[in-house]
Amino acid sequence: MKKRQLALSLGAIVGGTFLYQASAEASASTVQVKAGDTLWSLSTKYHTTVDALKSVNKLSSNTIHIGQTLSIPSASTSQPSNKEEKPSAPATGSTYKVQSGDTLWKVATRFNMSVEELKRLNALSSNIIYINQTLKVNGSNSAPTPTTSKPAETPSKDANGTYKVQRGDSLSKIASTFHISVSELKQINGLTSNTIYVNQQLKISKSSQTTTPTTTTTTTSTSTPSTSNGKLNVSQMISDAKRYIGVPYKWGGTTPSGFDCSGFIYYVTKQQISTTRYTTAGYWSVSTPVSNPQPGDLVFFNTYSSGPTHMGIYLGNRQFIHAGSSTGVTIASLDNSYWSKRYLGAKRFSK
């Protein structure tokens, strides 16, 4: 009799365990909002987008409240993992299959490319990619498998101030290594595009040529103004900003691993001057209003509460570059229906 009771008890425990697991699996497609949660943090945690969350839950704004139950889009019902996925090797020597959590910027970094090169090679018109999408990663069939376990050996310039281009190099990578901007590197070497080739000799410092002035603030450019915006050189500011197109959004982020809107401005400006880490409202307060924005000026928007809550750098021709919560660093238009309704004005930052 005791054996039978023990067997029944064990059966109940095992059955309860299976029921619990089944219940947990059934509830994996919903989540209950906790203190500190935002649509963006939940979209990141469950590998989806803010727009997808809003769509599946029929939300008309980004506002959510504690205790609210949200449905997770079906493509992301699996439980999130804190373990970083190791990128798989390309299917061939020149392609790569997109993994969960990938962005164009991450893929470009793994293969020593710029985001612009990756988009051009794959004929992409936006920064959106999807899991299992196959991307071309370079023009060769013998590309090495990317690795993040061992840092690349730091290249060096020779006694004449020149550098020989290595396999996998790009202008942005070389410029970053030698602490100059892409526009400076192109001007020093008389380049009209971002194309370079293996074994090409590049001048790294202006002292290695005799025809270019040594004053960095007088650099000329046919595409952006060469004058200085207060203490900031506008050409360098815009060139530096464009280097990070595709970098993902990160709340409070101030490094190329992730930016928020004001953190992006802070990082770009501190490449030239010593400056304070302001919030968007802080930049608005310390900057000077301008009625007709020029390249390098800051543009401000009201996105979710009263006053300035978002910002970017004006590029000219009604275009601006910014770190958007759903796009990462990207270029947008002031005439876009979303931004035009929220535009507050432009100001000039010179501190």
Quick check: 56 and 73 in contact, CB under 8 A? yes
> How many C-beta neighbours within 10 Å does residue 186 have?
19
In the numeric block, the tokens 């071309």 are attached to 136
Sorted by sequence, the CB contacts under 8 Å of residue 32 that are 6+ apart come out as: 67, 68, 69, 70
Active-site annotation holds for 47:
no
d(CA 250, CA 254): 8
255 dihedral zone (left: phi>0; alpha: psi -120 to 50; beta): beta
Q: Pairing state of beta strands 328-333 and 319-324?
A: antiparallel
Of 191, 186, 196, residue with least CA distance to 164: 196
- Where helices occur in 65-181 by DSSP H, the ranges are 104-110, 115-121, 171-177
Nearest 5°: the CA angle 155, 157, 161 is 160
Active-site annotation holds for 261:
yes
Element (H, E) at 284: helix 280-286
Active-site annotation holds for 65:
no
d(CA 150, CA 162): 26
Catalytic residues: 261, 310, 322
